């Protein structure tokens, strides 16, 4: 076994197998028939990228090589300046190079996380535009679509970002509306919401290249279970979140979620569900242990907190975007919920 590994290491030096470790040895094996076409991926790590999302995307490629014992995939890791990059968890990851020109056959995936709206500098945007202009495929993992939007590479194609960051994305990029699905592949563009969705997206790519059965076996090696389809939602259903299957209550909560900037009245919500206002209040108390008004207000305040961290909007603009008549009112209820003023919360970042 040791001799075999040494042979593989030697072969790696002539470029015949992936740069990253070659073809790992493992017990499980799944043969892939036909000639091998090694497909290249480049992961661009931006400051405070999400480590889980990055590793969940690269590991299926490594496992595909291991299972097949063939160099199906090759990947490299880049940063803006060629230096190591700190993830959002504080763990630093070494890279292989800075912004080098890549063959058009390479798929570039932007890995981002917190502070996504300004994580990339202008050289990154220019580099991405050049790669796309030469016919290269590209994508974003977790919040990578923020950078793609700044580079003007989303167009009218389908894309997504992590659900936590979607409200801030819509505020920053007028006319853009990310998908609620876990991942999207549309032409040369591939994006996912991050986390385990990175694995689902890469398994879909592997299935397209080498078949569903092989991709399922890669998923088994990841202990990922059955790969989810793109149309799977990023968040749990409302019923699961609130611990109730009351369809009328679920309808009210969905209406609240869709009307945060211009809140509906309690009477309008009750009428939509076929309740009286008193019945609606009793249902909220019984299931959620709070009034519908407070629940609705907290949804709006939570959106405001997201916009505070994800955008450069002023407190006054955020108040308007979350349905509060004045910035003072917004600041008052924000402090009640989080124990700090909006400006104080932003200063902590």
**pLDDT value, residue 158:** 95
Last residue of a domain, one of 173, 189, 221: 221
- Last residue in a domain, options 221, 252, 273: 221
Question: Are residue 341 and residue 196 in the same domain, yes or no?
Answer: no
The gap between the terminal CA atoms of the chain, to the nearest Å, is 50
Q: Do 259 and 308 fall into the same domain?
A: yes
In a domain, 232, yes or no: no
Q: Are residues 273 and 148 in the same domain?
A: no
- Gap between the Cα atoms of 82 and 141, Å rounded: 20
Q: Is residue 301 part of a domain?
A: yes
Task: Tell me: do 214 and 246 sit in the same domain.
Answer: no
- pTM for this structure? 0.78
Answer whether residue 205 is part of any domain: yes
Q: Is residue 308 a contact partner of residue 338, using CB atoms and an 8 Å limit?
A: no
229 inside domain: no
| pLDDT in the model for residue 349 | 62
Asked which of 188, 221, 254 is the last residue of a domain, the reply is 221
Q: State both tokens at 24.
A: 């790992």
216 and 279 in one domain? no
In a domain, 231, yes or no: no
Q: Per-residue pLDDT tens, the chain, 349 aa: give them.
A: 343 343 344 334 333 334 445 688 777 888 888 788 999 999 999 999 999 999 999 999 999 999 999 999 999 999 999 999 999 999 999 999 999 999 999 999 999 998 888 899 999 999 999 999 999 999 999 999 999 999 999 999 999 999 888 888 988 898 899 999 999 999 999 999 999 999 999 999 999 999 999 999 999 999 987 888 888 888 766 766 677 778 888 889 989 988 988 999 999 999 998 999 999 999 999 998 999 999 999 999 998 988 888 788 899 999 999 999 999 999 999 999 999 999 998 887 6
pLDDT confidence of residue 250: 87
Tokens of 118: 């300004």
Does 97 reside within a domain?
yes
Core vs surface per residue 95-111: b (16+ CB within 10 A) or e: beeebeebeeebbbbbb
Which pLDDT score, from 0 to 100, does residue 232 have?
86
- Whole-angstrom CA distances from 87 to 46, 251, 286 are 8, 38, 42
Considering the domain boundaries, does residue 282 fall inside one? yes
Max CA distance (Å), the chain: 77
Give the pLDDT of residue 239.
64
Q: Tell whether 140 and 174 lie within a shared domain.
A: yes
Residues 247, 216 share a domain = no
pLDDT given at position 7: 33
- Same domain? For 188 and 250 the reply is no
- Where do we find the tokens 């890549």? 102
The boundaries of the domain holding residue 174 are 2-221
Same domain, 48 and 13: yes
| Domain count within the chain | 2
> Residue 107 belongs to a domain with what CATH number?
3.40.50.880
Judge contact between 88 and 114, C-beta under 8 A. yes
Task: Tell me, yes or no, whether 83 and 216 share the same domain.
Answer: yes
> Which residue in 101, 99, 100 sits closest to 80, CA to CA?
99
Residue 226 lies in a domain: no
Q: Are 183 and 193 in contact (CB under 8 A)?
A: yes
53, 179: one domain: yes
By three-state DSSP, how is residue 188 classified? Answer: coil
CATH of the domain at 300: 1.10.10.60
Judgement on whether residues 185 and 37 belong to the same structural domain of the protein: yes
Q: Are the beta carbons of 342 and 315 closer than 8 angstroms? A: yes
**Spatial separation of the C-alpha atoms in residues 61 and 219, rounded to whole Å:** 11
Q: What is the pLDDT of residue 347?
A: 82
């Amino acid at each position: 076994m040791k001799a075999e590994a040494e042979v593989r290491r030697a072969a790696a030096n002539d470029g015949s197998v992936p740069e990253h470790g070659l073809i790992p040895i493992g017990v499980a094996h799944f043969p892939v028939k036909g000639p091998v076409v090694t497909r290249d991926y480049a992961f661009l790590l931006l400051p405070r990228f999400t480590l889980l999302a990055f590793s969940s995307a690269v590991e299926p490629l490594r496992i595909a090589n291991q299972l097949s014992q063939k160099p199906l995939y090759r990947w490299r890791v880049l940063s803006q300046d060629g230096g190591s990059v700190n993830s959002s968890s504080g763990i630093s990851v070494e890279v292989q190079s800075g912004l080098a020109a890549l063959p058009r056959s390479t798929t570039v995936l932007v890995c981002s996380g917190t502070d996504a709206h300004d994580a990339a500098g202008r050289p990154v945007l220019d580099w991405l535009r050049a790669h796309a202009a030469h016919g290269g495929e590209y994508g974003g993992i977790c919040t990578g679509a923020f950078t793609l939007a700044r580079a003007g590479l989303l167009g009218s194609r389908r894309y997504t970002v992590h659900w936590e960051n979607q409200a801030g994305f819509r505020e920053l990029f007028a006319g853009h509306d990310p998908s609620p699905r876990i991942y999207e592949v549309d032409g040369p563009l591939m994006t996912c919401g991050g986390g385990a969705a990175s694995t689902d997206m890469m398994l879909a790519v592997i299935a397209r290249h080498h078949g569903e059965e092989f991709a399922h076996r890669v998923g088994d090696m990841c202990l990922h279970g059955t790969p989810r389809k793109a149309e799977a939602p990023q968040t749990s259903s409302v019923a699961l979140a609130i611990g109730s299957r009351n369809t009328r209550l679920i309808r009210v909560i969905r209406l609240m979620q869709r009307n945060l900037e211009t809140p509906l009245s309690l009477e309008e919500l009750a009428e939509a569900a076929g309740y009286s206002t008193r019945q609606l209040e009793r249902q909220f108390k019984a299931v959620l242990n709070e009034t519908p008004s407070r629940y609705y207000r907290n949804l709006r305040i939570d959106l405001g907190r997201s916009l505070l961290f994800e955008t450069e909007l002023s407190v006054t603009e955020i108040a308007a975007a979350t349905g509060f008549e004045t910035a003072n009112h917004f600041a008052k209820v924000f402090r009640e919920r989080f124990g700090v003023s909006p400006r104080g919360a932003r200063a902590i970042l």
